[in-house]
Amino acid sequence: MIDTLHLHKDHKQYPLTNNLILPESVDISVIGDSLFPDSIDYINGIIHWNNKHINPVSAIVKYKAMAKDLPLKIGPLWKDLPDLDSFMKKNPANENYLKYKNSAYDDGLYTSGTFNRQISLSTNGMSEFTGGLNLNISGELENNIMLSAVLSDQDIIIKPEGNTRNLEDIEQVYITMQHPNFSLDAGDIKYKNKSDKLINIERNVIGLNNNFKYKNFSGNALISTTRGKYMSLDLVGLDGVQGPYGLRSKENSKDISLISGSEKVWLDGEKLVRGTNYDYVIDYSLAEITFTAKHLIHFDSDIFVEYEYVDGLYNQKIISGKYSSKVSDDINIVSGFVREKDNTNNLSSDSDFYQSIINGDTKDLVISGAIEDSTGDYYLEGEIYKYDPDHILIAYKRYRVAFTYNLKGKYEKLISVSGKVYYQYFEGDSPVNKDLYSPYQEISAPRSKDLYYLKGSYNLGNKLSISTLLSRSINDKNILSGADKSSNGGMYEITMILDTIEVGRMTYSLSAENLIREKYYTSFGLDRNVQYKRYWDLDSIGMIDEQESSVRFFMDFDNFSQSSIEYSGLNIGALKKNKIKLDRKIKSGTLSGTNLHHQQVFSDIGTYKYTNANITSKLGYFNPYLRFREEIKPKSLRYNIFGGGINYQKKYRLIKVGIESRKDEGNYMLYNNTDGQYSEDLISSFEYINQSRIGWRNNLIIKKRIKKYDNAMDDLDYVLGRIKLSYKRPNGPVYFELNSSTERTQNENYSIVYDSVGLGLGEYRYDNDFKTFIKDPNGSYISYSVPSGLRVDMINVTGFQRIVYDLQKIKGYPPLKLKMDTNYDYSGTSFDLRRFTNPIISDTSLYRSYLHNFIEIDWNLNRNMNRFRAYNIFSYDLHGYDPRGNELLKHIEFGGDYYSSINKNKNVKVAGFYHKKLIESAFTDLRNRNIFGSWYEIGIYSKNRSNIDSEITIKYGNDSGSFYFDDFKATGLGIEYSGRVYIRQSGSIQTNIAWQKNKEKSDITVLPPEALNGLTIGENININSRANYFLRKDISLSLSISYINNYRYSNLITVLGEFRAYL
């Protein structure tokens, strides 16, 4: 099959005419040169090709695809394969396990999936009952109805009363039915309503969505619910700071999480693409966005974000209906409604909160976070809560206080020496880079919003059309209050278009529109240009009446160039503005892509001017360009940008080189000085992309910025960049990969806080001797980070590198392989190579300095599985994010192992390593310790004909060092047995038994947690056993038993059972 794709610079996805593409069959060429795109969605037949071509080109795609009438029912053939471990049979039966496969599909439906339940019991009194479900259904029903369904939940918590989670709690539910005249979607779906540019609604919902059509009629109905709330937010960039930029709720709270994939991000009017290799990355749990090196952030960058968030207050019910009718060839009518309403079913009518809502008005409710408690850590002095965990002052009443983020708060978050979070009254003006809190929470009453709309269009002949839109919203800010305080508003638009009047080689069109928006009208989605305020020179848009009128004249010259002139007026409250806008674009020829945009806004305060001009030229493989931009705000700021560069593209290589200068000038009234503010920016950039299939593949972008001010402000001088390099040839001995990035962000200090969840259920244990938490799979604590709210500008450098040199691929050379992996992560107020390679514990300018280097030599001595491996580990990790002080961890290790085959069924292994570890703390000497020592093992592995695998290992090691004021010297001796027995063809039992006895020659009772592989002084016994058994080919049982007995855990037994069905 052959498809022709027309590639454009601003287009990112190109669908093929077929799906189910065979990956090895794809061959893409442009002007005879073989190319490869960013990625290919082989299942759906979509090619992703982002910003690789300056000018439009045609790509020839040759491929093979599966036939459309082949299998509509795709099933897991493993169901028809032999029983588990049947390959271990001495005389396996000669059966054809696939001969009945067609009979499973006689009903036209195919189902597959798994269903499981787990129970966990422990001698510490903790128990847990969990489960999972994964179900897929697809096929054809009667009357041309196609069915597809997915139901997935891998961690259903069984409630005590025996009920499973509600439908909206399931991770993924999706059911769809398709018919030529209707479709029905149920479960987790994305609802879209784009009836007009002013009716633009998109939500992630859980419910039912139906579309239907009959003759000239069509419609849609939705009944759904969701925890997510829609929000759009305008942000202004911080000069030189790529992020993170936090998103907020409607109540201005930052304690939210985002619904994955719900966000849409614009920067200076350009819609961005999510991804490290593209425009931005996002943390959905923290609701934070960080921009990549492709886009430099300035102090006046316009950031606009649409998203849906969860704040734990109310679920929302969403219902909508839409009706479309083509009355005649010239008349079309669309009408509909949408309602969003907060769900109050979870509110108890007897609660004080509920009564406050009923008796309240439309304002936010203020809920105090202070509760009188004699054991509380705070006392009230006047109107200020003060922290006193040691109860030094006993004359005051004590309180437990929950503080909430508040832009106008009066308390700052701090971390005590013991690692506890507390809040302290902040005196003075609100700082720019610090979060503040209040001892109360503002909560909005449950609300509802209704939207009704009617759109009609009428064609007066072939050239003239008239359309109208009538829309009205009703916003009730307290649906439980008896007072009727709903705010109603309308939006009305009329548009006239005189289209495609051809005069010779010219084509003309004329359009006019008038829009009225009442002050209480509430939008359900994005119904303005994302830079509406900037292009109309508005500081903000409040609840005021608006009227906007415009006339636009468009002209096209023989598909060579396009021009348009627009005159518009805006009445917003008492303010009147007029705007004239000119656009010019060349579509073909040597100057293809050249464009000009100029506009002026006239008002009583002065004239706003904006000009953006780009001149591009196509000279073979080279595309030089010039760029000019200027913006002048009356009695405010002005800047101009002038730059240029050249782009080169040939085959699969793309090179971009550019430089631009920016000059900013601020009015003195804004800065309280006579001269105002003046700055000069010089930005240079380099981008290189090489998409070769063999050899080098490169994706490199580097930007250097130097900004100088004319006053006492600090100058900027930093580099942003991303480097992805790789080298590989099919039969070559060398493999190289480098992935690195550098950025300038605002990092927030935080402290790691640990919370007890029960013995055996956590990931950490608390070591009282060293006053620290240690990783332990049987521990009682989980960890999470608590930010301090103080943000500091940082330079970040992160990445990894891998080098592999395999001599086996060179004829005549020994089977030797060398591998080196390096990971690094650096954050500091500035980048200093010396501080990165040799961090000092007292260096407060470092946020983190981490390096982990692993070198390995692997030598296959001969064909009898004899193998020798040697390795070296060198790493250090300085943590500077804790406001109490830094902590430094260093680790050096040398080791090796040797495998030798005694005979066909027996192998021997000898291994050992020497290690040295240093832990140093800047805020408590109790954590300081160093350990050095070695560890040795010798083991024999055997496999006999009775389907039994066994391994016996003898271990010996010693560690020495010091901690606090004590020195120690410890030794350990142990033995370990691992075995697995196969039960016919239906299951197996696997057991591991380890015994080790450790001694300390100084007769101290504790060891550093890093010594002797983390085991305690005295005897350590660990037994783990797991049994798996298939009752049938589609039903299995498993049982795991774990036993631990040592100085730390006395006779701890854990039992885990699982039932699993393959549907």
Domain boundaries, given as residue ranges, for the chain = 2-62, 74-122+934-1063, 229-311, 365-443
The C-alpha atoms of residue 445 and residue 428 are separated, in whole angstroms, by: 32
The pLDDT value recorded for residue 168 is: 43
What lies within 8 Å, CB to CB, of 479 at 6+ separation is 341, 342, 344, 445, 446, 447, 448
Query: Letter for the amino acid at 972?
Result: G
**Two tokens at 204?**
């992630």
Per-residue pLDDT, averaged over 698-708, amounts to: 90
> Shortest CA distance to 240 belongs to which of 289, 295, 288?
295
Least confident of 487-501, 850-864, 888-902: 850-864
User: Which H/E stretch holds residue 357?
Assistant: helix 352-359
The pLDDT value recorded for residue 54 is: 55
For 30, which DSSP code?
Answer: E
The pLDDT value recorded for residue 157 is: 42
The pLDDT value recorded for residue 863 is: 58
> What percent of the chain stands above pLDDT 90?
33
Greater confidence (923 vs 960) lies with 960
pLDDT over threshold 80, residue 272: yes
The C-alpha atoms of residue 630 and residue 624 are separated, in whole angstroms, by: 21
pLDDT range class, residue 165, cuts 50, 70, 90: very low
The pLDDT value recorded for residue 757 is: 64
Greater confidence (229 vs 884) lies with 229
* Most confident option among 24-33, 124-133, 865-874, 898-907: 865-874
pLDDT in tens, 518-556: 999 998 898 889 999 988 988 888 788 999 999 999 999
In this structure, are residues 1029 and 1059 in contact, taking their beta carbons and an 8 Å threshold? no
The C-alpha atoms of residue 888 and residue 987 are separated, in whole angstroms, by: 48
**Two tokens at 642?**
């002038």
Name beta bridge partners: 442.
Answer: 366
pLDDT over threshold 60, residue 51: no
In this structure, are residues 876 and 898 in contact, taking their beta carbons and an 8 Å threshold? no
pLDDT range class, residue 16, cuts 50, 70, 90: confident
Least confident of 200-209, 318-327, 435-444, 862-871: 862-871
The pLDDT value recorded for residue 937 is: 95
pTM of the model: 0.77
pLDDT range class, residue 789, cuts 50, 70, 90: low
> In whole angstroms, what separates CA 946 from the centre of its chain?
50
In angstroms, the Cα distances linking 1012 to 959, 969, 970, 1052 are 6, 11, 8, 21
The C-alpha atoms of residue 972 and residue 956 are separated, in whole angstroms, by: 6
Name beta bridge partners: 682.
Answer: 661, 706
pLDDT in tens, 555-591: 998 888 999 999 999 999 889 999 999 999 998 888 9
Determine the number of helices (DSSP H) and then strands (DSSP E) in the chain.
4, 65
> In whole angstroms, what separates CA 996 from the centre of its chain?
44
The C-alpha atoms of residue 421 and residue 718 are separated, in whole angstroms, by: 34
- The mean pLDDT value of the chain amounts to 83
pLDDT in tens, 273-290: 898 888 899 988 888 999
Per-residue pLDDT, averaged over 585-614, amounts to: 92
pLDDT over threshold 80, residue 617: yes
pLDDT range class, residue 88, cuts 50, 70, 90: very low
pLDDT range class, residue 79, cuts 50, 70, 90: very low
The pLDDT value recorded for residue 414 is: 82
Q: Compute the radius of gyration of the chain from its Cα atoms.
A: 34
Strand 781-806 versus strand 734-756 pairing type: antiparallel
**Two tokens at 542?**
């409040």
The pLDDT value recorded for residue 430 is: 62
pLDDT over threshold 50, residue 170: no
pLDDT over threshold 90, residue 660: yes
Sheet holding 288-291, edge to edge: 245-246, 288-291, 280-283
The pLDDT value recorded for residue 774 is: 79
The pLDDT value recorded for residue 338 is: 94
The C-alpha atoms of residue 707 and residue 641 are separated, in whole angstroms, by: 13
pLDDT over threshold 50, residue 672: no
Q: In this structure, what is the dihedral angle of CA atoms 1043, 1049, 1055, 1060, given to the nearest 10 degrees?
A: -100
**Two tokens at 654?**
């793309």
The C-alpha atoms of residue 492 and residue 534 are separated, in whole angstroms, by: 23
Greater confidence (347 vs 616) lies with 616
The C-alpha atoms of residue 751 and residue 415 are separated, in whole angstroms, by: 7
pLDDT range class, residue 196, cuts 50, 70, 90: confident
Angle at 656 between CA 652 and CA 660, to 5 degrees: 170
pLDDT over threshold 80, residue 810: yes
Least confident of 295-309, 657-671, 755-769, 1028-1042: 755-769
The C-alpha atoms of residue 489 and residue 527 are separated, in whole angstroms, by: 15
Angle at 673 between CA 608 and CA 713, to 5 degrees: 90
Angle at 692 between CA 686 and CA 698, to 5 degrees: 30
The pLDDT value recorded for residue 461 is: 82
The pLDDT value recorded for residue 567 is: 96
pLDDT over threshold 70, residue 26: yes
Within a 13 Å sphere around the CA of 763, how many CA atoms are in the beta-carbon half? 5
pLDDT over threshold 50, residue 31: yes
In this structure, are residues 480 and 448 in contact, taking their beta carbons and an 8 Å threshold? no
Determine whether 664 is exposed, middle or buried from the number of CB atoms within 10 Å of its CB (0-12, 13-18, 19+). Answer: buried
The pLDDT value recorded for residue 546 is: 92
The C-alpha atoms of residue 945 and residue 904 are separated, in whole angstroms, by: 11
pLDDT in tens, 465-499: 999 999 999 998 888 876 666 789 999 999 999 98
For 77, which DSSP code?
Answer: G
**Two tokens at 922?**
């800047």
**Two tokens at 386?**
């003060």
Query: Letter for the amino acid at 1013?
Result: N
